Structure 1
Amino acid sequence: MTDRFVVIGIGADGWDGLGRRARDELSGAATIYGSARQLDLLPALVADLRPWDSPMSTHLAAVLATTAPIGTDGDVTEQDGTVHILASGDPMFHGIGTTIVRAVGASRVDVIPTVSSAALACARLGWDLTDVGILTTVARDLDSVADALTDGRNLVILSRDETTPAQLAQLLTDNGFGWSSITVLEQLGGPAERIVRGIARTWSEPAGDPLNVVAVSCIGPHRSRAPGHPDDEYANDGQITKQPIRALTVSALAPSHRQLLWDIGSGSGSISIEWLRSEPTGRVVAFERDDTRSAQLIANATRHGVRGRLTVGGAAPESLSTAPEPDVVFIGGGLSTPVLEAAWAALSEDGRLVANAVTLENQHLLTEWYGRHGGSLRRLSVETAAPLGTMTTWRPALPIVQWVVDKS
């Protein structure tokens, strides 16, 4: 049986950068898996070196699922049931080690890390690692970086390949951060280490080494994660929860670690987007029956850097039965008895439901459910100063009835 996986982090400095324990493990290994680049960093060993097939994820899954290590001819290659796997830097930092632990359990995995590329980058730049945002574009869309941009923030971004720096420069410029400084650090810690500096808006460096990280010092607008962004930040056809009500609604939804939100009748997606921006580990399934609004929602989520954590479903209540169980539900559009019944049934124990109603019929519906399940029922009214001839007066928006309830 494959009883044990040993995951060893290796940097661009190769064998010379490994500690004694890592060297002893590799020297005694029968089979070592890794990328071709990583395997080339090793000296002559008795081990059978196995580069990953493409796609790597499929090959790794096969290695983790087998009852014994696989040789080229299908024979067992290690009699003691141990598999050795190379990883880049710290395997538990956006690395393969996390994938392996999730698949087989921590009790069957030994991890031997070396210095991560993020730590090396901060050491070169003199940055405090605890005050730096660490992002990856290896397994996430480049657009996700937009979510982290704000004036004065330092970011270290793990690149997918040699094209990432130029793409990041364009993204920064498109989002109003064109004067941000960019530092590309290639082959960190190795003999071929190279550092290139420039400004996003004038970036013209040719593609370099595929093994690189990008450090960004953001210069641009201050961008808050707090809910209540201006309405004009979202493309919409008028079906949007307005700024002050949106701030109160996201606050009532109370985003928390790794929660899943159902946004029913999502329209422009402003609630979903501000939920995701408030909690970077959150996920959303947004239900919208109109295809045009769904496309608009996706465009808004992409612009705000949260597209990778948002899934667009179809109409409610028809599409609710196939979606994963929510921790939190928001109903903003399409409120009806069938939608409430389906959402309430799907909501996890101790989950929260928030519903907003404008019409008298829907407000009456929420009043009925409030009487049945409790919670809190509020009537929200907002007035905004606006011109009246040569003077100024208060223009009231339609009042909103909001029901907030925890399922217990």
Structure 2
Amino acid sequence: MAKAPWLTIIGLGEDGPEGLPAASRAALRAAEVVLGPPRHLSLLPDLASERIAWPVPFADGLPILRALRGRRVVVLASGDPFWFGAGSVITSDLAPGEWTAIPVPSSFSLAASRLGWPIESTLCLGLHAAPLTRLRPHLAPGHRMILLMRDGAAVAEAARYLTALGFGESRLWVLEALGGPRERVTSARADDLRGEIAHPVALAVDVAGPGRVIPRCSGIEDDFFATDGQITRRPMRALALSALAPRSGETLWDIGGGSGSIGIEWCLADRANRATSIEPRPDRAARIRANADRLGVDLGVVEGRAPEALDALPPPQAVFIGGGLSEALLADLRDRLAPGTRLVAHAVTLESEALLAAGSARLGGELLRVSLSAATPLGGRRGWTAAYPVVQWRVVL
């Protein structure tokens, strides 16, 4: 007969145990130890169990919890522990039979019910520990989002951030202590937010204003990126992303990152995508990090040269070579990468073209030579100025 779970994760609302499911109340009565944030513990009635305040930072509480294995333990969390909550972290190395969870309505559900917003078409984000720039890809007029915020100061910071980007007309709803006796909902424009805000707090945003929107297509304008000139320009970037063909949840290696534009656009294609940019120059690596942060994506950056810098990276589903192309690199990737990995490389010099031609002869794939010209002043008129042709090789290994 299977053993009963020793750990119960209970979702708690602002009204404390009032209104909790019967299973949650029974678990609390039977618990030998209750762990949770001090605010949650303060909501409990007198119990015979030992109480332990979960420490800060959060990771410091995990060894305490693991040491209690075998006793009847309850961990208190907010709302639904598995929606931007602590549940997945707590259970990451526990077997399914060791724990059970009993959620209550999340802050997202409560906020949507106050505003009448359909959750399925509303962006829901937890920004307790994430930068506000995570909002940047989603800022477009008419887009609605519900955000869990660290505290009242973070709400004010979000209003300033929206205003600075040209979205000060956005309507905000500040939702404090939802579901409890201190509940309060107030509304203001982002550029006119005032007053003290109490924690816990959620922020609902109906985006409005003339701010610049990041397009949802490959090949966004070059001036979204800070650069020293080392960048895959917009038309070639669009062709590169099309050849790389990002799919949800996949990982990219961007070798020779330059300004990070390929890796950043890979991440912009889907929130579940991950990318690492490999760049040998420290100044460019720093610029890549700044570009990624400003555009709201979580892009890894490794300072170093491929192939040596690749050893510690998780395996990718796609690789782009925009710089540092060599016979040694191609040979290493051929041996290192799993079958089915998509490889795309660009070359401008005759020597690099020769490497791609030889690689194509050995491994197959498609070679494409692209010549672009832009209209520029020519005396009192205009003429075509040609850029260096680019050869693209794409292959599925």
Counterpart contact for 1:10–1:17, Cα < 8 Å: no
Name the residue aligned to 1:84.
74
Aligned ranges for residues 364-375 of structure 1 at < 5 Å? Answer: 364-375=354-365
* 1:299 corresponds to 2:290: yes
Counterpart contact for 2:83–2:106, Cα < 8 Å: yes
For structure 2, list consecutive stretches of 5 or more residues without a partner in the other structure: none
Aligned ranges for residues 253-272 of structure 1 at < 5 Å? Answer: 253-272=244-263
Counterpart contact for 1:263–1:330, Cα < 8 Å: yes
Partners of 1:379 and 1:96 lie apart in 2 by 50
Moved more, 309-318 or 6-15: 309-318
Moved more, 385-394 or 127-136: 385-394
Partners of 1:61 and 1:116 lie apart in 2 by 27
* 1:279 corresponds to 2:279: no
What are the superposed Cα offsets for residues 227-250 of structure 1, whole Å, 9 maximum, x if unpaired? 111111111111111111101111
Counterpart contact for 1:320–1:342, Cα < 8 Å: no
Partners of 1:91 and 1:37 lie apart in 2 by 16
* TM-score, reference length from structure 1: 0.91
Partners of 2:304 and 2:65 lie apart in 1 by 37
* 1:376 corresponds to 2:366: yes
Partners of 1:88 and 1:118 lie apart in 2 by 11
Distance 1:200 1:343, change over 3 A: farther
Partners of 2:44 and 2:354 lie apart in 1 by 71
Counterpart contact for 1:182–1:199, Cα < 8 Å: yes
Partners of 1:309 and 1:5 lie apart in 2 by 35
| Amino acid aligned to 2:229 | G
Question: 2:396 is matched with which residue: 377, 383, 406?
Answer: 406
Partners of 1:131 and 1:36 lie apart in 2 by 34
Partners of 1:83 and 1:251 lie apart in 2 by 51
What are the superposed Cα offsets for residues 173-226 of structure 1, whole Å, 9 maximum, x if unpaired? 2222122122111100100011222222233333x2121011111113443222
> Structure 1 vs Structure 2: percent identity of aligned residues?
40
| Amino acid aligned to 1:128 | P
2:266 aligned counterpart, secondary structure: helix
Aligned ranges for residues 171-190 of structure 1 at < 5 Å? Answer: 171-190=161-180
What are the superposed Cα offsets for residues 343-374 of structure 1, whole Å, 9 maximum, x if unpaired? 33332332211111111111110111111111
* 1:93 corresponds to 2:94: no
Question: 2:58 is matched with which residue: 47, 53, 56?
Answer: 56
* 1:120 corresponds to 2:110: yes
Name the residue aligned to 1:73.
none
1:102 aligned counterpart, secondary structure: coil
Name the residue aligned to 1:209.
198
| Amino acid aligned to 2:109 | A
Moved more, 388-397 or 164-173: 388-397
Moved more, 132-141 or 2-11: 2-11
Counterpart contact for 1:329–1:347, Cα < 8 Å: no
2:93 aligned counterpart, secondary structure: helix
| Amino acid aligned to 1:248 | L
Partners of 1:17 and 1:358 lie apart in 2 by 67
Name the residue aligned to 1:148.
138
Distance 1:39 1:281, change over 3 A: same
1:404 aligned counterpart, secondary structure: strand
Report the CA distance between 1:2 and its aligned residue.
9.4
Partners of 2:267 and 2:159 lie apart in 1 by 24
| Amino acid aligned to 2:361 | G
Name the residue aligned to 2:69.
68
Report the CA distance between 1:67 and its aligned residue.
6.6
Name the residue aligned to 2:27.
25
For structure 1, list consecutive stretches of 5 or more residues without a partner in the other structure: 70-77
Report the CA distance between 1:117 and its aligned residue.
0.2
Distance 1:217 1:287, change over 3 A: same
What are the superposed Cα offsets for residues 163-182 of structure 1, whole Å, 9 maximum, x if unpaired? 11011112212222122122
* 1:238 corresponds to 2:253: no
Partners of 1:272 and 1:40 lie apart in 2 by 46
Distance 1:168 1:344, change over 3 A: farther
Give the number of aligned pairs.
Answer: 393
Report the CA distance between 1:49 and its aligned residue.
1.9
Moved more, 252-261 or 363-372: 252-261
Partners of 2:68 and 2:199 lie apart in 1 by 35
Report the CA distance between 1:292 and its aligned residue.
1.7
* 1:195 corresponds to 2:190: no
Name the residue aligned to 1:7.
9
